[in-house]
Homo-oligomer: A and B are copies of this chain.
């Protein structure tokens, strides 16, 4: 096994084999029955939406089209398939078909970002039967996931309103590094403002976004003596970055910051709350720090945003991770 195999890393040249076995066995059967070149079509659509969902936002078409353009089988891939022993009785013509494979069909799709509804196709493939069969798995993979994330992001934007900042913080909870990049793409396309994923932001030509973690407060205050030292230290290098204020005692931290701001000893643009009663805490922070942007994080989703709004929380922005990137409806 090569090092690349050990890492299970993927390059787009691998993707033709990123398919369910039955797509290949069925294609071999079509070749044997001499119907592999018949024109076929299939459509991707959702039969029904999760409870409370009114629409889906179509996403993932760019990656789908890249895949179709690159659709080839190398001789190594063909040999690897042969070596499984599964295709012993498959017709010989199947192997020559794979060796010369490219996607020659047509793709009809709604543009990425289109709102669609149950039973309405996102994408339609018209292609020789064997091709339509083989590409199905990958197309579902890219379009299912990105559509799910773009939809969740759009729902959060709908409920949060246009003036609320929505930051994608899900990388650590995403389902693999590649999923974190695709989630960032779909979340930004679905209406979120920024991602904390540095690599995703750079690849997408965006500026990454973030605050600070409890670890910094604990590390600096352990050495320099207090939470305030941690705030000062972070502001020394990142003067406009929001401060995380719930490490020890949220209200004590808020009062201290309010005093420093009032005395002109500190500029403060934002704070983040990551625990506790977000309604009550955010209201109290607003009174003490009326000019400061208040971010909230911690298992936020569109339902939680709606609840916080109903209960008059004073929150200007959300950092959203787990409930976005794991696609929980």
CB-CB under 8 A from A171, the residues of chain B are 18-20, 137, 141
- A144 in contact (CB, < 8 A): yes
A interface, over-half SS? helix
A266 CB to nearest B CB, Å = 15
- A110 in contact (CB, < 8 A): no
Chain A interface residue count: which class? 35 or more
Residue of B nearest to A236 (CB): B32
Binds B, one of A79-87, A114-122, A284-292, A307-315: A79-87
A189 CB to nearest B CB, Å = 12
Whether A84 lies near B207 (C-beta < 8 A) is yes
The CA-CA distance from A7 to B65 in the complex, in Å, is: 10
CB-CB under 8 A from A325, the residues of chain B are 175
CB-CB under 8 A from A17, the residues of chain B are 198-199, 202
CB-CB under 8 A from A20, the residues of chain B are 169, 171-172, 196-198, 210
CB-CB under 8 A from A238, the residues of chain B are 25, 28-29, 86, 89-90
CB-CB under 8 A from A174, the residues of chain B are 141, 145, 175
Which residues does A use to contact B, with CB under 8 Å? 1, 5-12, 14-15, 17-26, 28-30, 32-33, 35, 38, 40, 42, 62-63, 66, 80-81, 84-87, 89-91, 129, 133, 136-138, 140-142, 144-145, 169, 171-183, 185, 196-203, 205, 207-213, 215-216, 219-220, 223-224, 233-234, 236-239, 241, 325-327
Query: Which 10 A-B pairs rank lowest in CB-CB distance, beginning with the nearest?
Result: A21-B210, A178-B178, A175-B175, A140-B172, A22-B210, A17-B199, A21-B208, A175-B179, A176-B179, A20-B196
